[in-house]
């Protein structure tokens, strides 16, 4: 059974940094494509970064140069390093994993079968 458990969310000031983690079990992060999504109150869940099984990465424009997605294949963990945080980055962050649904757009929620429960990032001025 695939499970994803996020951690690392916190309350930080504008300009601060965090490293979010997603511990995966029941499958290997090497074999699935994975992504980080976020959802702010009253807004749709949006994808921010993804990493494919070959290690290639994609980011939405709003986080390019500030966020870095990576994975530790040996320990089956997905990371999201978030730097230079802005007020608009505040959200619940979710990791997601999937396979076999590449006909969906990269940041379509439909592309991912498995989701974690989320970790909260709060940003204050």
- Residue 31 clears pLDDT 90, i.e. is over it: no
- Residue 28 clears pLDDT 90, i.e. is over it: no
Contacts of 3 (CB under 8 A, 6+ apart): 24, 25, 26, 114
Q: What is the pLDDT of residues 74-114, one digit of tens each?
A: 999 999 999 999 999 999 999 999 998 999 999 999 999 99
Report which DSSP code applies to 64. Answer: T
Place 122 in a pLDDT band, splitting at 50, 70 and 90: very high
Give the per-residue pLDDT at 30.
Answer: 78
Specify the pairing of strand 91-98 against strand 33-39: antiparallel
Kindly report the average pLDDT of the chain as a whole number: 96
Are 94 and 38 in contact, with CB atoms under 8 Å apart? Answer: yes
């Amino acid at each position: 059974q695939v499970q994803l458990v996020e951690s690392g969310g916190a309350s930080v000031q504008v300009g601060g940094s965090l490293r979010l983690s997603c511990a995966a079990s029941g499958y290997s992060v090497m074999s699935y494509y994975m992504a980080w999504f976020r959802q702010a109150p009253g807004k749709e869940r949006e994808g921010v970064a993804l990493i494919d099984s070959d290690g290639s990465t994609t980011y939405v424009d709003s986080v390019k140069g500030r966020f870095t997605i990576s994975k530790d294949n040996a320990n089956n963990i997905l990371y999201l390093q978030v730097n230079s945080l802005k007020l608009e980055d505040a959200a619940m962050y979710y990791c997601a994993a999937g396979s076999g649904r590449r006909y969906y757009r990269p940041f379509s929620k439909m592309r991912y079968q498995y989701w974690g429960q989320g970790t909260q990032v709060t940003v204050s001025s």
